[in-house]
């Protein structure tokens, strides 16, 4: 595990963007696993800037996103497809057909989960996975549980996750209660993982995840088992 301390959010975003762009420069056909949430926004902004300067080229890149709310269609501003289009894809030279987000509007959610896993396999898995962490230690929408869920699945969001994510919605009652999330196996099979953490509030859960017991009650703790994990964090104290 590589632990990189960033002095502020801008520094964190530039460091993460540097690592992602190095991946794309070295492997122009890279498969990037991407995340939503407030943490990666600065990383995407930096990558957009470098793409506009032609320092990094996304034309051959494929992306797979971690998760999507069930019941929100891509035109809904709170859907993760909308987030990705507006915060990243619409501003870079990526082929939109090569960007993938689970379909939260699928009639058969179980089928959609299977389709998503098959898709990840068919593109050869993920070269580099960008991750954030939830306040309760969730990664993607893999919530604390009694076992690690391996494959893409439908999840009931925990009250604390709904509470944390309500800031993006007008009303807490508008926050979907279900999501589709990539499973722990697909995340752990990524050849490299970059976890970004930008908040003092997440210091304790990050410490527990990286140095505490590996347990499904702290989903991010599984990342300790990954052989190529980079953690970039910005908190008042160093770990």
| Minimum separation from the CB atom of position 38 to ligand GLP (A) | 4
**Phi-psi bin for 114: left (phi > 0), alpha (psi -120 to 50), beta?**
alpha
In the complex with ligand GLP, the residue whose CB is nearer, 37 or 176, is 37
Segment holding 185, helix H or strand E: helix 184-189
| Minimum separation from the CB atom of position 42 to ligand GLP (A) | 10
Q: Where along the sequence are the contacts to ligand GLP (CB under 6 A)? A: 35-39, 66-67, 132-134, 140-141, 161, 165
Decide if 174 is catalytic. Answer: no
- CA-angle at 33, arms to 30 and 35, nearest 5°: 145
Kind of pairing between the strands at 192-197 and 67-69: unpaired
Decide if 136 is catalytic. Answer: yes
Residue 179: both structure tokens together: 């999501």
In the complex with ligand GLP, the residue whose CB is nearer, 55 or 77, is 77
Cα–chain-centroid distance for residue 221?
16
In the complex with ligand GLP, the residue whose CB is nearer, 122 or 170, is 170
Decide if 143 is catalytic. Answer: yes
| Minimum separation from the CB atom of position 40 to ligand GLP (A) | 7
Residue with tokens 């407030």: 38
Decide if 226 is catalytic. Answer: no
Catalytic residues: 67, 136, 138, 143
């Amino acid at each position: 595990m590589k632990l990189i301390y960033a002095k502020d959010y801008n520094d964190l975003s530039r460091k993460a963007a540097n690592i992602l762009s190095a991946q794309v420069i070295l492997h122009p056909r890279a498969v990037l696993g991407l995340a939503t949430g407030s943490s990666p926004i600065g990383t995407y902004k930096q990558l957009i800037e470098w793409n506009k300067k032609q320092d990094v080229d996304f034309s051959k890149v494929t992306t797979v996103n971690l998760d999507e709310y069930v019941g929100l269609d891509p035109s809904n501003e709170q859907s993760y497809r909308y987030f990705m289009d507006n915060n990243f894809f619409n501003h870079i030279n990526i082929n939109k057909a090569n960007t993938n987000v689970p379909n939260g509007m699928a009639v058969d959610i179980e089928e959609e989960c299977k389709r998503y896993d098959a898709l990840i396999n068919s593109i050869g898995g993920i070269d580099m996975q960008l991750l954030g962490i939830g306040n309760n230690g969730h990664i993607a929408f893999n919530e604390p549980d009694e076992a690690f869920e391996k494959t893409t699945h439908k999840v009931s969001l925990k009250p604390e996750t709904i509470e944390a994510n309500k800031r993006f919605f007008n009303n807490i009652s508008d926050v979907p209660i279900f999501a589709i999330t990539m499973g722990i196996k697909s995340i752990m099979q990524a050849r490299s993982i970059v976890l970004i953490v930008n908040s003092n509030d997440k210091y304790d859960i990050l410490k527990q995840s990286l140095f505490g017991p590996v347990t499904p009650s702290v989903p991010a703790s599984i990342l300790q088992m990954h052989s190529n994990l980079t953690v970039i964090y910005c908190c008042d104290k160093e770990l």
